[in-house]
Protein backbone atom coordinates (compact mmCIF):
# COMPACT_ATOMS: atom_id res chain seq x y z
CA UNK A 1 0.00 0.00 0.00
CA UNK A 2 1.20 3.48 -0.86
CA UNK A 3 1.08 6.07 1.89
CA UNK A 4 -0.19 9.55 0.91
CA UNK A 5 2.58 12.13 0.62
CA UNK A 6 0.24 14.32 2.68
CA UNK A 7 -3.44 14.68 3.53
CA UNK A 8 -5.11 18.05 3.92
CA UNK A 9 -3.78 21.36 2.63
CA UNK A 10 -0.39 21.90 1.02
CA UNK A 11 0.55 25.47 0.18
CA UNK A 12 1.67 26.10 -3.38
CA UNK A 13 4.28 28.52 -2.09
CA UNK A 14 5.37 31.66 -3.93
CA UNK A 15 9.08 32.30 -4.41
CA UNK A 16 9.81 35.65 -2.73
CA UNK A 17 12.25 37.88 -4.60
CA UNK A 18 14.07 41.02 -3.52
CA UNK A 19 16.06 43.16 -5.95
CA UNK A 20 16.08 40.33 -8.47
CA UNK A 21 17.37 37.66 -6.09
CA UNK A 22 15.60 34.96 -4.08
CA UNK A 23 14.69 36.39 -0.67
CA UNK A 24 15.62 33.45 1.55
CA UNK A 25 14.73 35.11 4.89
CA UNK A 26 11.22 35.80 3.52
CA UNK A 27 10.99 32.20 2.31
CA UNK A 28 11.68 30.99 5.83
CA UNK A 29 9.02 33.28 7.26
CA UNK A 30 6.46 32.04 4.73
CA UNK A 31 7.15 28.41 5.61
CA UNK A 32 6.73 29.18 9.31
CA UNK A 33 3.42 30.88 8.47
CA UNK A 34 2.20 27.74 6.71
CA UNK A 35 3.22 25.46 9.55
CA UNK A 36 1.61 27.73 12.13
CA UNK A 37 -1.53 27.79 9.98
CA UNK A 38 -1.86 24.02 10.06
CA UNK A 39 -0.79 23.20 6.51
CA UNK A 40 0.20 19.58 6.00
CA UNK A 41 2.94 20.24 3.41
CA UNK A 42 4.53 22.94 1.26
CA UNK A 43 5.17 22.79 -2.48
CA UNK A 44 8.08 24.93 -3.69
CA UNK A 45 9.45 25.71 -7.15
CA UNK A 46 6.20 24.92 -8.92
CA UNK A 47 3.81 27.12 -10.94
CA UNK A 48 3.04 29.54 -8.10
CA UNK A 49 6.75 29.53 -7.24
CA UNK A 50 7.64 30.78 -10.77
CA UNK A 51 9.61 27.63 -11.53
CA UNK A 52 10.02 28.58 -15.19
CA UNK A 53 12.32 31.50 -14.30
CA UNK A 54 14.49 29.78 -11.69
CA UNK A 55 18.02 28.66 -12.50
CA UNK A 56 19.28 25.21 -11.54
CA UNK A 57 21.26 26.62 -8.57
CA UNK A 58 18.25 28.65 -7.39
CA UNK A 59 15.96 25.62 -7.64
CA UNK A 60 18.28 23.48 -5.53
CA UNK A 61 18.92 26.27 -3.01
CA UNK A 62 15.18 26.97 -2.55
CA UNK A 63 14.40 23.30 -1.98
CA UNK A 64 17.31 22.98 0.44
CA UNK A 65 16.27 26.06 2.39
CA UNK A 66 12.65 24.89 2.55
CA UNK A 67 13.81 21.54 3.92
CA UNK A 68 16.03 23.28 6.47
CA UNK A 69 13.21 25.56 7.60
CA UNK A 70 10.60 22.80 7.75
CA UNK A 71 12.90 20.66 9.94
CA UNK A 72 10.86 17.55 9.28
CA UNK A 73 7.67 19.05 10.68
CA UNK A 74 5.87 18.83 7.33
CA UNK A 75 6.85 17.34 3.96
CA UNK A 76 8.53 19.55 1.35
CA UNK A 77 7.50 18.75 -2.22
CA UNK A 78 9.51 20.23 -5.08
CA UNK A 79 8.24 21.11 -8.52
CA UNK A 80 10.47 19.23 -10.97
CA UNK A 81 8.45 18.89 -14.15
CA UNK A 82 9.59 19.79 -17.64
CA UNK A 83 8.74 19.27 -21.30
CA UNK A 84 12.17 17.63 -21.56
CA UNK A 85 12.36 14.24 -19.85
CA UNK A 86 16.12 14.58 -19.26
CA UNK A 87 15.63 18.05 -17.78
CA UNK A 88 12.93 16.73 -15.46
CA UNK A 89 15.23 13.94 -14.29
CA UNK A 90 17.95 16.48 -13.46
CA UNK A 91 15.44 18.51 -11.42
CA UNK A 92 14.20 15.40 -9.61
CA UNK A 93 17.71 14.32 -8.68
CA UNK A 94 18.79 17.71 -7.41
CA UNK A 95 15.53 18.14 -5.45
CA UNK A 96 16.03 14.75 -3.83
CA UNK A 97 19.69 15.58 -3.11
CA UNK A 98 18.48 18.79 -1.41
CA UNK A 99 16.21 16.73 0.86
CA UNK A 100 12.76 17.01 -0.78
CA UNK A 101 10.21 14.47 0.42
CA UNK A 102 8.72 14.15 -3.06
CA UNK A 103 8.40 15.88 -6.41
CA UNK A 104 5.55 17.33 -8.47
CA UNK A 105 5.81 16.74 -12.22
CA UNK A 106 3.69 18.74 -14.64
CA UNK A 107 2.76 17.17 -17.98
CA UNK A 108 5.04 18.16 -20.88
CA UNK A 109 3.97 21.51 -22.35
CA UNK A 110 4.47 23.19 -25.74
CA UNK A 111 5.88 20.14 -27.51
CA UNK A 112 3.33 18.08 -25.51
CA UNK A 113 2.99 14.36 -26.29
CA UNK A 114 0.53 11.53 -26.87
CA UNK A 115 -0.97 9.48 -24.05
CA UNK A 116 1.56 6.75 -24.87
CA UNK A 117 4.29 9.39 -24.60
CA UNK A 118 2.98 10.42 -21.18
CA UNK A 119 3.21 6.85 -19.95
CA UNK A 120 6.79 6.49 -21.21
CA UNK A 121 7.81 9.95 -19.89
CA UNK A 122 6.46 9.42 -16.39
CA UNK A 123 7.50 5.77 -16.17
CA UNK A 124 11.06 6.66 -17.18
CA UNK A 125 11.23 9.29 -14.44
CA UNK A 126 9.52 7.17 -11.79
CA UNK A 127 11.88 4.26 -12.48
CA UNK A 128 14.80 6.57 -11.64
CA UNK A 129 13.32 8.55 -8.73
CA UNK A 130 13.99 7.65 -5.10
CA UNK A 131 11.12 9.62 -3.54
CA UNK A 132 7.38 9.65 -4.33
CA UNK A 133 6.19 11.47 -7.42
CA UNK A 134 2.96 13.43 -7.79
CA UNK A 135 1.74 13.97 -11.33
CA UNK A 136 0.38 17.41 -12.23
CA UNK A 137 -2.46 17.69 -14.73
CA UNK A 138 -3.17 21.34 -15.64
CA UNK A 139 -4.56 21.46 -19.19
CA UNK A 140 -5.19 25.23 -19.17
CA UNK A 141 -1.41 25.78 -18.98
CA UNK A 142 0.01 22.82 -20.87
CA UNK A 143 -2.51 22.30 -23.66
CA UNK A 144 -2.93 18.62 -22.83
CA UNK A 145 -4.42 16.40 -20.16
CA UNK A 146 -3.81 12.99 -18.63
CA UNK A 147 -6.66 10.76 -19.76
CA UNK A 148 -8.35 8.71 -17.00
CA UNK A 149 -7.12 5.46 -18.57
CA UNK A 150 -3.56 6.79 -18.74
CA UNK A 151 -3.73 7.89 -15.14
CA UNK A 152 -5.00 4.46 -14.16
CA UNK A 153 -1.99 2.80 -15.79
CA UNK A 154 0.50 5.24 -14.23
CA UNK A 155 -1.16 4.96 -10.81
CA UNK A 156 0.06 1.38 -10.54
CA UNK A 157 3.73 2.38 -10.59
CA UNK A 158 5.06 2.01 -7.03
CA UNK A 159 6.79 5.39 -7.10
CA UNK A 160 3.86 7.40 -8.52
CA UNK A 161 1.86 8.31 -5.43
CA UNK A 162 -0.83 10.66 -6.70
CA UNK A 163 -1.93 13.49 -8.94
CA UNK A 164 -2.63 17.18 -8.60
CA UNK A 165 -5.80 17.50 -10.66
CA UNK A 166 -6.05 21.10 -11.84
CA UNK A 167 -8.54 20.57 -14.62
CA UNK A 168 -12.20 21.51 -14.39
CA UNK A 169 -13.80 18.40 -15.94
CA UNK A 170 -15.22 16.76 -12.82
CA UNK A 171 -16.62 13.89 -14.85
CA UNK A 172 -13.14 13.00 -16.13
CA UNK A 173 -11.66 13.28 -12.64
CA UNK A 174 -14.46 11.05 -11.30
CA UNK A 175 -13.72 8.43 -13.97
CA UNK A 176 -10.02 8.55 -13.09
CA UNK A 177 -10.81 8.08 -9.39
CA UNK A 178 -12.97 5.07 -10.24
CA UNK A 179 -10.21 3.50 -12.36
CA UNK A 180 -7.26 4.13 -10.03
CA UNK A 181 -6.45 1.99 -6.98
CA UNK A 182 -7.59 3.21 -3.57
CA UNK A 183 -4.04 3.97 -2.42
CA UNK A 184 -3.48 6.47 -5.25
CA UNK A 185 -4.00 10.01 -3.94
CA UNK A 186 -5.93 12.75 -5.73
CA UNK A 187 -5.40 16.41 -4.77
CA UNK A 188 -7.36 19.38 -6.01
CA UNK A 189 -5.26 21.85 -7.98
CA UNK A 190 -7.95 24.54 -7.76
CA UNK A 191 -8.91 26.10 -4.44
CA UNK A 192 -12.50 26.55 -5.57
CA UNK A 193 -12.85 22.83 -6.40
CA UNK A 194 -11.40 21.55 -3.13
CA UNK A 195 -14.81 20.84 -1.61
CA UNK A 196 -16.34 18.90 -4.53
CA UNK A 197 -13.16 16.92 -5.23
CA UNK A 198 -12.74 15.96 -1.58
CA UNK A 199 -16.39 14.89 -1.53
CA UNK A 200 -15.49 12.56 -4.41
CA UNK A 201 -12.52 11.16 -2.51
CA UNK A 202 -9.57 13.53 -2.96
CA UNK A 203 -7.17 13.67 -0.02
CA UNK A 204 -6.60 17.42 -0.06
CA UNK A 205 -5.56 20.46 -2.06
CA UNK A 206 -2.37 22.08 -3.32
CA UNK A 207 -3.50 25.60 -2.59
CA UNK A 208 -2.64 29.09 -3.84
CA UNK A 209 -4.98 30.65 -1.26
CA UNK A 210 -2.99 29.06 1.56
CA UNK A 211 -0.27 31.65 0.94
CA UNK A 212 -2.70 34.14 2.50
CA UNK A 213 -5.14 32.07 4.56
CA UNK A 214 -3.42 28.83 5.61
CA UNK A 215 -5.68 28.39 8.65
CA UNK A 216 -8.89 28.60 6.60
CA UNK A 217 -7.69 26.24 3.86
CA UNK A 218 -6.34 23.78 6.42
CA UNK A 219 -9.67 23.86 8.26
CA UNK A 220 -11.61 23.38 5.02
CA UNK A 221 -9.68 20.20 4.24
CA UNK A 222 -9.92 19.00 7.85
CA UNK A 223 -13.70 19.32 7.74
CA UNK A 224 -13.86 17.46 4.44
CA UNK A 225 -11.66 14.65 5.72
CA UNK A 226 -13.95 14.38 8.75
CA UNK A 227 -17.00 14.16 6.47
CA UNK A 228 -18.42 17.45 7.74
CA UNK A 229 -19.39 18.83 4.35
CA UNK A 230 -22.00 21.25 5.70
CA UNK A 231 -19.45 23.27 7.67
CA UNK A 232 -16.91 22.82 4.89
CA UNK A 233 -19.41 24.33 2.45
CA UNK A 234 -19.89 27.33 4.74
CA UNK A 235 -16.13 27.93 4.75
CA UNK A 236 -15.95 27.38 0.99
CA UNK A 237 -18.57 30.06 0.34
CA UNK A 238 -16.99 32.42 2.86
CA UNK A 239 -13.72 32.47 0.91
CA UNK A 240 -14.96 31.80 -2.63
CA UNK A 241 -14.56 35.42 -3.73
CA UNK A 242 -10.95 35.42 -2.58
CA UNK A 243 -10.27 32.12 -4.35
CA UNK A 244 -11.59 33.65 -7.56
CA UNK A 245 -9.82 36.98 -7.08
CA UNK A 246 -6.42 35.30 -6.88
CA UNK A 247 -6.93 34.37 -10.53
CA UNK A 248 -7.85 37.83 -11.83
CA UNK A 249 -4.62 37.54 -13.81
CA UNK A 250 -2.03 34.86 -14.51
CA UNK A 251 -0.98 33.04 -11.34
CA UNK A 252 1.07 34.08 -9.32
CA UNK A 253 0.59 37.75 -10.28
CA UNK A 254 -2.49 38.32 -8.07
CA UNK A 255 -1.31 36.30 -5.06
CA UNK A 256 2.02 38.12 -5.02
CA UNK A 257 0.21 41.48 -5.13
CA UNK A 258 -1.98 40.29 -2.27
CA UNK A 259 1.00 39.11 -0.24
CA UNK A 260 2.73 42.45 -0.69
CA UNK A 261 -0.46 44.21 0.47
CA UNK A 262 -0.53 41.90 3.50
CA UNK A 263 3.12 42.69 4.29
CA UNK A 264 4.26 39.09 3.79
CA UNK A 265 6.86 39.63 1.06
CA UNK A 266 7.83 42.19 -1.56
CA UNK A 267 5.49 40.90 -4.26
CA UNK A 268 8.32 41.18 -6.80
CA UNK A 269 7.93 39.10 -9.96
CA UNK A 270 10.32 38.05 -12.69
CA UNK A 271 9.70 38.79 -16.35
CA UNK A 272 7.74 37.88 -18.37
CA UNK A 273 5.29 38.29 -15.47
CA UNK A 274 4.42 41.89 -14.64
CA UNK A 275 2.60 43.69 -11.82
CA UNK A 276 -1.15 43.48 -11.43
CA UNK A 277 -2.89 46.26 -13.38
CA UNK A 278 -4.48 49.21 -11.58
CA UNK A 279 -8.14 48.18 -11.92
CA UNK A 280 -7.51 44.55 -10.99
CA UNK A 281 -5.23 45.56 -8.15
CA UNK A 282 -7.85 47.93 -6.76
CA UNK A 283 -10.46 45.15 -6.87
CA UNK A 284 -8.12 42.71 -5.12
CA UNK A 285 -7.08 45.15 -2.39
CA UNK A 286 -10.68 46.15 -1.75
CA UNK A 287 -11.61 42.49 -1.32
CA UNK A 288 -8.64 41.88 0.98
CA UNK A 289 -9.75 44.78 3.15
CA UNK A 290 -13.17 43.18 3.47
CA UNK A 291 -11.48 39.98 4.63
CA UNK A 292 -9.20 41.91 6.99
CA UNK A 293 -6.09 40.72 5.17
CA UNK A 294 -4.52 43.97 3.94
CA UNK A 295 -1.74 45.35 6.14
Just list the catalytic residues: 136, 164
The per-residue b/e assignment along 55-68, b for 16 or more CB within 10 angstroms, e otherwise, is eeebbbbbbbbbbe
Per the CB < 8 A criterion, the answer to whether 220 and 195 are in contact is yes
State the CB neighbour count (10 A cutoff) for residue 2. Answer: 17
Instruction: Find the length of the chain.
Output: 295
Task: Say how far apart CA 92 and CA 80 lie, in whole Å.
Answer: 6
State the CB neighbour count (10 A cutoff) for residue 196. Answer: 18
Task: Say how far apart CA 228 and CA 247 lie, in whole Å.
Answer: 27
Task: Say how far apart CA 154 and CA 82 lie, in whole Å.
Answer: 17
Closest CA to 109 of 51, 22, 189, 62: 51
The set of residues, in sequence order, having a beta carbon less than 8 Å from that of 86 and lying 6+ positions away, is none
Amino acid sequence: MKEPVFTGCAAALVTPFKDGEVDFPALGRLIELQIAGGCAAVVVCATTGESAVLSYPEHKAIVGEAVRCARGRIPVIAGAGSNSTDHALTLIRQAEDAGADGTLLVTPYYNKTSQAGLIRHYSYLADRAEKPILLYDVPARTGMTIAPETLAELSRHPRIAGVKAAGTDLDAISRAMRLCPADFSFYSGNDSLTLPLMALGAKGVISVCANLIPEAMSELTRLCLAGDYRDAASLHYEYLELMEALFLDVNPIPVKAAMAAAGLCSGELRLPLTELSGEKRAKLISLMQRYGLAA
